[in-house]
Amino acid sequence: AQSVTQLGSHVSVSEGALVLLRCNYSSSVPPYLFWYVQYPNQGLQLLLKYTTGATLVKGINGFEAEFKKSETSFHLTKPSAHMSDAAEYFCAVIAGGYQKVTFGTGTKLQVIP
Amino acid sequence: KAGVTQTPRYLIKTRGQQVTLSCSPISGHRSVSWYQQTPGQGLQFLFEYFSETQRNKGNFPGRFSGRQFSNSRSEMNVSTLELGDSALYLCASSPTRDRGYNEQFFGPGTRLTVL
C-alpha cells in the first residue's frame, strides 16, 4: 500500500522568503512522486515529478524537490516566494505501475506581502 | 492541443437525484481517471478507464459508476445523491496505460452541490 503525509495544512511565508513544503511517503515498491499545484476553482497542474535518476528534481515556476529514500521524503522548496505562489500544493505517489494516484491532504500556501 | 474539458462546470442537485458528469480527454489520450475532492477527505481516486474498460477502482460505493466511450470520452454517474457527495469532481487523462508512470493532465473539475 502507498500513502503520503503532508506536514502542515497551512503554511505562511513572507514574499521573498524560502518556501518549504514537507512530504513524506510510504511505499513498498520504488515510488514515482509528484507535486501538484491547485489554484482556486481550477484543476491540478503538475509542478514536478520524480521517477528515476537524479534525486534533485527541478520543476516549473522555480520550484524543486529532492527525493531522499533514506528519509522517505520529497519536500518541495523554492528559494524566494512570490505572491503568485499562493495556492494549494499536493504531494502524490504512484507505486506499482498503475494510474491510481494517492494524494496527500494538501498544504495551502499563503504569501504575505 | 486542447486540454481536458469537463462539463458542466457547476451543478446543483437535490438529495435522491442522480447526476452525470462528462470528461473529454486530451486528443490521443486513452486513459481517463476520476477523482473526488472534498475539504474533509481531500483528493480521492474514484476509478480509471482505458479503452472502454475500468482498470482500477477506488473505495467508493456502487452509487458511483462510470464508463468510457470508443472516442475515449468518459462519463461518471452518481445515483441517489447524498449531501456528502457535494464535491469537486476532477477528471485526468493520460496518453497510455503502460505499466509505470504516465503523467496525468487534469481538467478544471465539475463542482457538484447537493441540497
DSSP line for A25-50: EE-SS--EEEEEEE-TTS-EEEEEEE
Max Cα separation, chain B? 41
Q: In this prediction, what percent of chain B has a pLDDT beyond 70?
A: 95
- CB spacing of A44 vs B90 below 8 angstroms: yes
Residue A72 above 60 pLDDT? yes
Written as nine digits, the cell of B115 is 441540497
pLDDT band at A9 (very low <50, low <70, confident <90, very high): very high
Give chain A positions within 8 Å (CB) of B72.
Answer: none
Helices (H) and strands (E) in chain B, counts: 0, 11
For residues A27-35, give the mean pLDDT: 87
Q: Are the CB atoms for A102 and A4 separated by under 8 Å?
A: yes
Chain B residues with CB under 8 Å of A98 CB are 48, 55-56, 99
Say yes or no for a CB contact (<8 Å) between A51 and B101.
Answer: yes
Range 16-75 of B in CB contact (< 8 A) with A: 31, 33, 35, 42-45, 48, 55-56, 58
As a whole number of Å, the end-to-end CA separation of chain A is 41
Q: In this complex, how many residue pairs, one in chain A and one in chain B, have their CB atoms less than 8 Å apart?
A: 59
Q: Which residues of chain B have pLDDT under 50?
A: none
Nearest to B22 by CA among B87, B105, B90: B90
> What pLDDT was estimated at residue A68?
94
Question: In this complex, which of B55, B104, B105 lies closest to A101 when CB atoms are compared?
Answer: B104
Q: Give Cβ neighbours of residue B32 (< 8 Å, ≥ 6 apart).
A: B23, B25, B48, B49, B50, B68, B72, B74, B91, B92, B93, B94
Give the per-residue pLDDT at A65: 97
- Residue written as grid cell 494538501: A106
For residue B78, give the nearest of B52, B60, B59, B55 by alpha carbon: B60
Residue of A nearest to B5 (CA): A43
Yes or no: say if B32 and B48 are a contact pair by the CB < 8 Å rule.
Answer: yes
CA dist B33 and B56 (Å) reads 9
Where does the pLDDT of residue A41 fall: very low under 50, low under 70, confident under 90, or very high at 90 and above? Answer: confident
Find cell 458542466 and name the residue.
B8
Quick one: pLDDT at residue B46?
93
State which residue of chain B sits closest to A39, comparing Cα positions: B108
A94-112 per-position pLDDT tens digit: 876 566 788 999 999 999 9
Answer whether B92's CB lies under 8 Å from B107's CB: yes
pLDDT for position B34:
96
Would you state the pLDDT for residue B55? Answer: 85
HEC string of B73-96 equals CEEEEECCCCHHHCEEEEEEEECC
Residues on chain B touching A41 (C-beta within 8 angstroms) = 108, 111
Separation CA A45–CA A68 (nearest Å): 23
Query: Can you tell me which residue has the cell 449531501?
Result: B83
Do A99 and B90 lie within an 8 Å CB cutoff?
no
Q: Residue A15 in contact with residue A5, Cβ under 8 Å?
A: no
